[in-house]
Amino acid sequence: MRPEIHALQEALATHGYIAEPAIATALFLAREMRKPLLVEGDAGVGKTEIAKVLAQVLGTELIRLQCYEGLDVHTALYEWNYQRQLLRLRLAERDGQDPGHLEDIIFGREYLLERPLLRAINRREGPPVLLVDEIDRADDGFEAFLLEILSDFQVTIPELGTIHAEHIPYVVLTSNRSREIGDALRRRCLYLDIPHPTLEKEVRIIRTKVPGVAERLADQIARFTQALRGRRLAKPPGVAETIDWARALTMLHQDHLDLETVEETLGCLLKDRHDLGELSDAELSTLVAKAAEAVIR
């Protein structure tokens, strides 16, 4: 591993993100090449956290655009503050001014509401980290618009003209694969696929994210969760659920797994009633027994 990538990996770990070499390499290349990084993986594997921690490592602002079905250009880019504009016009009428002469004023920057994309382009204090979260939830039309933004990092506002980015943002896009991302956007980005963590990595994550967790409990939680992911579940637990469960068990002063506590707290891991109903008492007992074979590292 190159020293620069190792240094980035260590910096990520310092901020609580356990990254294997592939993740650190992808982030390093995206940073140095100034190319967007498309991160795919199941829910809860740490895709969004990558952007958050990268912003901390770089000491810059994180600007987040949360995608959803029906997201339009104005919501993502900019809107005019119509209430302030209307108030300014009414004040002009009260003072006997001609409202027709106020167009240049009310369409000035002070009446512009910057949404995430414009804020990332217009930031003057240095490049931010722009997180386009769950791009797969947006429609094809918005994806095409986003591709144009990522290609030029400029936007034209009819009333103000073209705004160019002084500093090209670091861009991270995430996808849960709810739909296929278009080839044009994929070609524009570097790509990173994040699978569920290995047993050893998950134990490290639990110990990093949950201070005070018993070592034996961390091992058993990781083993139990890994076994659950091996089943055919509608919504397999991600790392986020593992961390929540570890925190819950630590708050309950548990230092190991037992069947009764697992049954009472299983809702921290499984968020689907069908998944919960599929696990019989006998299966849970077997999973707990196998997890108890954990060896403290």
pLDDT tens digit sequence for 35-87: 999 999 998 899 999 999 999 999 999 999 999 999 988 889 888 777 776 77
- β 129-133/170-175 pair status: parallel
Does 42 map to a domain? yes
Residue 127 sits in the same domain as residue 32 = yes
Cβ distance 169 to 120 under 8 Å? Answer: yes
Query: What count of other Cβ atoms lies within 10 Å of the Cβ of residue 166?
Result: 13
Residue 218 sits in the same domain as residue 278 = yes
Partners of 191 in beta bridges: 38
**pLDDT(295) > 60:** no
Residue 133 sits in the same domain as residue 32 = yes
Does 297 map to a domain? no
**pLDDT(296) > 60:** no
pLDDT tens digit sequence for 184-239: 999 999 999 999 999 999 999 999 999 999 999 999 999 999 999 988 888 999 99
| Token pair for 226 | 């890994």
Does 296 map to a domain? no
Residue 54 sits in the same domain as residue 182 = yes
The residue out of 152, 177, 193 marking a domain boundary is 193
Residue 19 sits in the same domain as residue 137 = yes
User: Concatenated DSSP letters for 46-115?
Assistant: SHHHHHHHHHHHHT--EEEEE--TT--HHHHSEEE-HHHHHHHHHHHHHTT--GGGGHHHHTSGGGEEE-
The residue out of 114, 130, 165 marking a domain boundary is 114
Q: What is the spatial distance between Cα 297 and Cα 133, in angstroms, rounded to a whole number?
A: 36
Does 263 map to a domain? yes
What percent of the chain shows pLDDT beyond 70? Answer: 92
Query: CB-based burial of residue 186 (10 Å sphere; 0-12 exposed, 13-18 middle, 19+ buried)?
Result: middle
pLDDT tens digit sequence for 148-165: 899 889 888 877 788 899
Residue 286 sits in the same domain as residue 183 = no
Which domain covers residue 173, as residue numbers?
3-72+120-193
**pLDDT(11) > 50:** yes
Phi-psi sector, 154: left (phi>0), alpha (psi -120 to 50), beta:
beta
How many domains is the chain built from? Answer: 3
Residue 13 sits in the same domain as residue 151 = yes
The residue out of 86, 114, 142 marking a domain boundary is 114
Which residue type does 1 have? M
Residue 172 sits in the same domain as residue 263 = no
Which CATH number belongs to the domain containing residue 173 in this structure?
A: 3.40.50.300
Residue 279 sits in the same domain as residue 204 = yes
Residue 222 sits in the same domain as residue 287 = yes
pTM (predicted TM-score)? 0.86
Cβ distance 280 to 286 under 8 Å? Answer: no
Residue 14 sits in the same domain as residue 68 = yes
Q: What is the spatial distance between Cα 4 and Cα 66, in angstroms, rounded to a whole number?
A: 31
CA 61 to each of CA 7, 18, 31, 57, 277: distance values in angstroms, whole numbers, following the listed order: 21, 21, 15, 11, 43
Question: Which is more confident, 278 or 19?
Answer: 19
Instruction: Give 297's pLDDT tier (boundaries 50, 70, 90).
Output: very low
Q: What is the spatial distance between Cα 105 and Cα 126, in angstroms, rounded to a whole number?
A: 28
Q: What is the spatial distance between Cα 237 and Cα 244, in angstroms, rounded to a whole number?
A: 11
pLDDT tens digit sequence for 97-130: 665 666 666 676 777 788 999 999 999 999 999 9
Residue 41 sits in the same domain as residue 148 = yes
